[in-house]
Amino acid sequence: MTLQQLYLALLVGGLVLLASIVGTRVATRIGFPSLLFFLLVGVVLGEDGIGVDFDDVEMARNICTAGLAVILVEGGLTTKFSDIRKVLAPAGALATIGVVVSTAVTAVGAHVLLGMDWQLAVLVGAIVSSTDAAAVFSVLRVLPLPRRVAGLLEAESGFNDAPAVILVLTFSVVPFIFEPEHAVTEMVYELGAGSLIGLGVGFLGAATLRRMALPASGLYPIATFGLGLVAFAAAGSAHASGFIASYLAAVVLANSGLPHRSATRSFAEGLGWLAQIGLFVLLGLLVDPSELAADVVPAIIIGTVLLLVARPLSVVGSLFWFRIPWREQLFLSWAGLRGAVPIVLATFPIVAGVPDSPRLLNIVFILVVVFTLVQGPSLRPIARALGLITRESTREIQVEAAPLDVLDAELLTMTVQPHSRLHNVTILELRLPDPAVITLIIRDGHTFVPLPDTRIEAGDELLIVTTSKTRAAAESRLRAVSRRGKLAYWFDEYGLPD
C-alpha cells in the first residue's frame, strides 16, 4: 500500500466513522436500533451499493472476534458486581443450560420445518443461541429495569458467548462427527480455564495498578482496558475461552476500587462504540442483499421458533430451581436480543468449509435484522405492561466528575408523577438518608437549587446525589413517600421494590 492509498483509506474510514456516529443520533431519535444502522452502512458500502468488494470471510471473522473481545471488556468495565452478585447462579445456568436447550430446540425446528441437514440445523441453533452483549448493554443503559432483571440479562450476555462459540466450533468440523464425551470435556475445560485466567488477570492487575503511580491519569484507563485484552489473548493461547476470560477480568477490575473509575468507564464505552461500529459495518460488507431473498422465509421461521419456543423453554429450564417471578421470566424470554455475535459466529463454519454454510450467514443476517426491529422497540412497553418499570423509577446518569468518582457517589434523576404522594412534601420532610441529597429541581423548564422548606410538586424532575452504599436506601425512601406520603413509615410502608 502506497502512502497515498493509506491517506485515502483513512479518509474513507474516518468519514464512515463520523457518518455512523451522526447516524446513531438520528436513529436513536426516531427509535431505529443503532446496530441495524451500522449494518445498513456496511450494506450500502458493499458490492450491491457503492461497490466496495469485500469477500474475505476469514479476515472478517478474525477482526470481528477481536471486536467482540473489546465489547465484552467494555461490558465488564461498566458492570457493577453488586448488580450481578445475587444472580450469578441463574445467569450461569442461562449461559450454559439455556444455550444448550436453545440450540437443541432451534435445531429440531430447523430440521423438521425446513428439512435442513442436521449439521446445518444444529449449527444455526448454536449460532443464534447466544444473546448479544452489545445489544443488551446498549438497552440496559436506557431502560430502567429492576436491578435483578438488568443484572441477570447483563451477566447472561457476558457469559453465554463462550458456550455458544464452543458449540459452533464443535459442530463446524468436516466430516461431521459428534463425540458427546469430547464435547462436554472441551466445554468444561474452556469455560473453567477461561474463568480462572480471567479472574487471575483481573485480581493481579488490580493489585498492581493500586500500587503503581503512573505518570499521567490518562494511562489508567488504557492500562485497565489493556488487562482485559491480555486476559482474552492469554486464554485463547491456552485454548480456553477468551470471551469469558476478558469479561471476568474486566468485571474484577471495575469493582476493585481503582482510581479514575469514571474516566475508565468513559474510555471503555468509547472503545466499545468504536468496536460496534467497525464490527457491524464489516459484517454489512460481507452480505450481498441480492442473495438474501431466497432465505427470508427460512430466517423468519427459525427466528419465530427461537423467539416463541426455544428462548422461553431455555429460560424456564434454566431458572426452574431459582425463585424468579414469572413476570421476570416472561420478560427475560422476550429480551433475548441477537446482534453481532450470531453474525460473527456464522462466519466460523464458512471458514471451516462446512458444505452450504454460506447460506447460514444470510439466514442469520435476516433473522437479526427482522427480530431486532420486532424486539428492540417493544422492550419498554412490555416491561411496563409486566410491571417491571414503575413511572417513578430512578435512572443513573453517567457524568465526568472527579469529585463524584472520589466519593464513590452516583447521580440519579427521578420525575414526580401526577398522583405521587411526593407532591407538596418539603425537602426536609422527605428525610433522605444521609448523605443522599436533592441537589437540583427542574420545574416547568426552570432549574433551581432547593432549600429545606422547598415543596416538591408533581412534574418536578429531581436530581439526587447519593453514595453507592446509600443508593438503595434513598430509592426505598423515595418510593415509600411516593406511595404513602411523608408519614409512610407509620403505615408500614418502607418502599420495597414491587
pLDDT of residue 243: 86
Pick the closest to residue 286 from 58, 13, 23 (CA basis). Answer: 58
Tell whether 295 is covered by a domain: yes
Cβ-contact 194, 42 below 8 angstroms? no
Q: How far apart are CA 152 and CA 145, in angstroms?
A: 11
pLDDT bracket for residue 401 (50, 70, 90): very low
Same domain, 122 and 9: no
| Calpha distance 188→369 (Å, rounded) | 33
Amino acid present at 421? R
Pairing between β-strand 395-397 and β-strand 446-448 as defined by DSSP bridges: unpaired
- Which among 352, 385, 418 is the end of a domain? 385
265 shares a domain with 319: yes
Read off the pLDDT of residues 224-265 as tens digits, 9 standing for 90 and up. Answer: 889 999 999 999 898 888 888 998 999 899 888 777 777 788
CA distances from 345 to 103, 158, 190 (A): 13, 16, 17
Range of the domain at 14: 1-32
Stretch 89-93: mean pLDDT: 88
Residues 264 and 133 in one domain: yes
Which CATH number fits the domain that encloses residue 57? 1.20.1530.20
Number of structural domains in the chain:
3
Is residue 404 pLDDT above 60, yes or no? no
Asked if the structure places residue 498 within a domain, the reply is no
Helix H or strand E segment including 164? helix 161-171
Tell me which residue of 202, 320, 311, 211 sits closest to 256, measured CA to CA: 202
Nearest Cα to Cα of residue 135 among 38, 4, 6: 38
Rounded CA separation 100/163 (Å)? 8
* Band (275; pLDDT cuts 50, 70, 90): confident
Cut 0.85: pTM above it: no
* DSSP assignment string, 226-295: HHHHHHHHHHHHTTS-HHHHHHHHHHHHHTTT-S-HHHHHHHHHHHHHHHHHHHHHHHHHH--GGGTGGG
Residues contacting residue 131 through CB under 8 Å, at least 6 positions apart: 153, 156, 157, 160, 336, 337, 338, 341
Does residue 403 sit in the same domain as residue 420? yes
Q: What is the pLDDT of residues 36-67, one digit of tens each?
A: 777 777 777 776 677 677 777 888 888 888 88
Average pLDDT, the chain: 83
Q: Kindly report, residue by residue over 344-397, the tens digit of the pLDDT.
A: 888 888 888 888 888 888 898 888 888 888 887 788 888 888 888 766 565 555
Kind and range of the H or E run holding 442:
strand 437-443
**Can you tell me the distance from the alpha carbon of 229 to that of 12, in angstroms, rounded to the nearest whole number?**
27
Quote the cell numbers at residue 275.
Answer: 468496536
Torsion of CA 155, 157, 158, 159, to 10 degrees: 90
Domain end: 345, 362, 385, which one? 385
Q: Are 307 and 344 found together in one domain? A: yes
Q: Which of 385, 408, 443 is the last residue of a domain?
A: 385
> Which of 60, 69, 81 shows the shortest CA–CA distance to 255?
81
| Co-location of 211 and 310 in the same domain | yes
The three three-digit cell numbers of residue 197, written as one number: 485466567
